[in-house]
Amino acid sequence: MATRKRDRVKRTVLLLVALCVLAFLLELNRWLPGTWPGGGGGGIKTAGDLVKTPDTDKPEDDTGAVAPPKEPPANWPPPEGIVVEVRGPNGSLETEWRLGTGGGGEEKPDAAGRLRTGNARARERGFRIGTKGGKLRHEHGVNAHVAAWSIHLPAAKLPTQRDGGRAGLRIIDAVTKTPIQGARVEWQARGRMQRAESDATGEVVVKPEYGGRAARVTIHADGYETHKAWASPRDTRLREVALEKIVRKPARFLYNGEPVSAGFTLFDGGGRRLRIPQGKDEVRVPESQVESAWVEIRATGMVFRMRVRDLKDEMTVPDGKLIDVDLKDVNGAALSSARIFAEVPVANEGGPDRFEGGARNQALGSDRRLTVPEGRAFKLIVEAPGKAPIVRGFTAVDGNAPLEFVAEDGIMVPVRVAGEGKPLPGARVVARASVQGVRIVRSAQTGRDGRANVGPFGRGPVEIFVTAAGRAWSANVAEAGPAMGTVEMKLEAGFPVHLVVEDPYGVPLRGVDVEVTPVKGPPLVSPPPPVKSRTNVGGRLTIEHIPNGLYSVRLTLDGHHTEVLRSVQPGAVTYFATLVPK
């Protein structure tokens, strides 16, 4: 009897141990694809967050995907599960497709072409779609904050794919197209960093992680800008990666023969600050930016700008001249406070090329003086509290005669913002007007009654843009005048459009131009300042404040067939697009 009892206890212990090992393997299979027969390697194994929430600003994990939030939203997962749909190139719902999650099985859509699944692996890890045209695997396609995924099939034919276990890259110079030997390539594979160098032909072999997933690689080469790219073992092509050479230009600025201690700041052609490493006496920019990039130099109370292409060994900042400013109102009373801005074209000593600069945010002090380049033409913008902006052109010449300005009373534009017939407090109001070719921009926020006064402006047309939380942008044009009425603005509900763009091999596509057009009705309002919509390094983009309705989304990228997503509706849906290489 005692022996049988001991045997029963032993069997119970062994059974518990076996169950624990099984639970451990199942959990391991969730996080390390391919460790369990029938699971892992075939599906998509990365998680990410596409919605602009505080959780998206987290460091990337080993796979290059954005780490999922530690705590899911309170209403996730939705009790109904996840809705997945596949649309053809014409926007119609497809029915001949299957959803796989790497768990060893596939799910089929209903007769309408939609699949409602409660599959936890799809929710957490991602999915692959098998269609008549081939398989689409979305490496970074998971969005734990939405409950609907819409996969759009490309119009161009999908290329043949295979899991080769390795990917070939050819590193070349972006301008000369010649191979770069000795480029150092780094990537994550099997949980550790791996490295390789390109050979004399510029080629290098990358072995991505298990399961055929794309790997993010970082490429370093002496004299070139560091480049980040992707490599997929399913891509049978030899993918070319072009590196941009770093051009070094001298940047030594003198004023009265002495170096300008304030230094300089580097910007690209679009006015974005460049984060290229730069020395104290030189500027380093990618070769493609040499013609458009510029530096900003602060000296003598002014701000000057100069194109990088014009930089020489030594550049002399023009002498400054102090001028007196006489600012009065229409009744002749002196105005004690004002801000003065200047746009100053200054001729280079080396030729006819010019660089621009100006005094920015210079407060008119008690001595009522301002520094401008001596003997140069410039345009002054004068702003006094409650007064209409003044824009006038001058040339600083010899003599001490003050510059005289008469400021008229400014006009505050009254705006009332409503939604569904009710006032909208906290709405953002942006107004802009043009004065002598200079754009003046003002902003305000509505109070509890949905009203705001924005300005001051002078007489004339004023463009008004309004939005609020959860609302689409609205625009109007008003004529500013002393007896003008209230500008009524009505806001519709606004929703985001979430996009993920990849190539057929699961590689995210960065820099895809995205254009959203309503199927019916007027075009979307472009808020100031206009911003080009492009996907980020993960192939993701969220466009906010889109009115409810149906839209077509045009996706363009050099070297790829243009794709148009049809029947796109803003809201809690992530739209997946595939751009096929030409």
pLDDT digits over 8-36, tens only? 777 777 777 777 776 665 544 443 333 22
pLDDT beyond 80 at 318: no
Name, of 61-75, 152-166, 497-511, the range with top average pLDDT: 497-511
Report the phi/psi class of residue 6: left, alpha or beta, with left for phi > 0 and alpha for psi in -120 to 50: alpha
Predicted pLDDT at 100: 78
Phi/psi of residue 578, each to 5°? Answer: -125, 120
* pLDDT band (50, 70, 90) for residue 276: low
| Minimum mean pLDDT range among 35-44, 240-249, 418-427 | 35-44
Task: Please check whether residue 199 is in contact with residue 161, taking contact to mean a CB–CB distance below 8 angstroms.
Answer: no
Average pLDDT for 343-372 = 46
d(CA 139, CA 125): 9
Predicted pLDDT at 578: 92
Question: Can you name the CATH fold of 411-490?
Answer: Immunoglobulin-like (2.60.40)
Give 172's strand partners.
179, 242
Q: Write the DSSP assignment of 302-318 as a string of letters.
A: EEEEEEGGG--S-EEPP
Residue with tokens 């500008």: 487
> How far, in Å, are 146, 256, 273, 278, 421 from residue 250 at the CA level?
51, 19, 19, 10, 61
Over the range 141-164, which residues count as b (16 or more CB within 10 Å of their CB) and which as e?
Answer: bbbbbbbbbbbbbbebebeebeee
pLDDT by residue (tens digit) across 93-110? 889 888 876 656 678 888
Task: Please check whether residue 579 is in contact with residue 501, taking contact to mean a CB–CB distance below 8 angstroms.
Answer: yes
Predicted pLDDT at 350: 33
pLDDT by residue (tens digit) across 421-434? 899 999 999 999 98
Predicted pLDDT at 3: 65
Strands 167-173 and 238-243: parallel
Q: What percent of the chain has pLDDT over 70?
A: 70
Average pLDDT for 317-339 = 78
Q: Is the peptide bond before 456 cis (omega within 30 degrees of 0)?
A: yes
* pLDDT band (50, 70, 90) for residue 314: confident
Residue with tokens 């160098």: 197
CATH of 167-244, one of 3.40.50.2000, 3.40.50.300, 3.30.70.1710, 2.60.40.1120: 2.60.40.1120
Output the pTM of the full model: 0.70
pLDDT by residue (tens digit) across 208-228? 875 667 788 999 999 998 998
| Torsion, CA 285, CA 291, CA 295, CA 296, rounded to 10 | -150
CATH architecture of residue range(s) 32-158+495-582: Sandwich (2.60)
Calculate the average pLDDT of the chain.
76
* pLDDT band (50, 70, 90) for residue 299: low
d(CA 163, CA 499): 26
Over the range 101-133, which residues count as b (16 or more CB within 10 Å of their CB) and which as e?
Answer: bbbeeeeebeeebebebebebbbbbbbbbbbeb
Helix (H) or strand (E) holding 259: strand 258-259
| Distance separating the N- and C-terminal Cα atoms of the chain | 78
> How far, in Å, are 36, 214, 564 from residue 139 at the CA level?
20, 7, 21
Sheet holding 315-316, edge to edge: 258-259, 253-255, 315-316
Task: Please check whether residue 431 is in contact with residue 443, taking contact to mean a CB–CB distance below 8 angstroms.
Answer: yes
Predicted pLDDT at 519: 92
